[in-house]
């Protein structure tokens, strides 16, 4: 796997993803800033923290030519966040399922 871009994640999520993504470069970004340059094979977005700003950020990233996978995770009680992100073309997972699926997602 090439590089992973992590958007709007808290420190705990970042640590868990970095621990699982051994051998993968993890870049951290905020939806409040422009997308960083890089050849990312996977973008992971914390939809709870990023909200609608994260969706607009993903649109901007795609507008710059990004065609890779975008995965978002959200609290299972916020079904609207998941639905809205899915409508925006993001593969969504409730937070618990995301953590269970993370090793598979990192494999591609």
d(CA 89, CA 95): 18
- Spatial distance between the Cα atoms of 5 and 27, rounded to a whole number of angstroms: 5
- Mean pLDDT of all residues in the chain? 90
Residue 5, both tokens: 């871009």
Name the CA radius of gyration of the chain, rounded: 12
Residue 1: band (very low, low, confident or very high) from pLDDT cuts 50, 70, 90: very low
User: How many angstroms separate the CA atoms of 10 and 41, rounded?
Assistant: 21
Q: pTM score > 0.75 for this model? A: yes
pLDDT, tens digit, 9 for 90 and up, residues 9-49: 899 999 999 999 988 889 999 999 988 888 899 999 999 98
Q: Which domains does the chain have, with CATH numbers?
A: 3-107 (3.40.50.2300)
27 or 78: whose pLDDT is higher?
27
Percent of the chain with pLDDT over 70: 97
Distance CA 105, CA 49 (A): 21
Residue 78's SS3 state is coil
């Amino acid at each position: 796997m090439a590089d992973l871009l992590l958007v709007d994640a808290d420190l705990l999520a970042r640590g868990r993803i970095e621990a699982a993504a051994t051998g993968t470069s993890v870049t951290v970004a905020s939806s409040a800033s422009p997308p960083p340059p890089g050849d990312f094979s996977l973008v992971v977005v914390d939809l709870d923290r990023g909200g609608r700003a994260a969706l607009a950020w993903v649109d901007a990233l795609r507008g710059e030519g990004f065609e890779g996978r975008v995965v978002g995770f959200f609290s299972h009680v916020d079904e609207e966040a998941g639905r809205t992100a899915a409508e925006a073309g993001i593969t969504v997972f409730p937070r618990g399922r995301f953590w269970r699926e993370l090793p598979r997602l990192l494999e591609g």
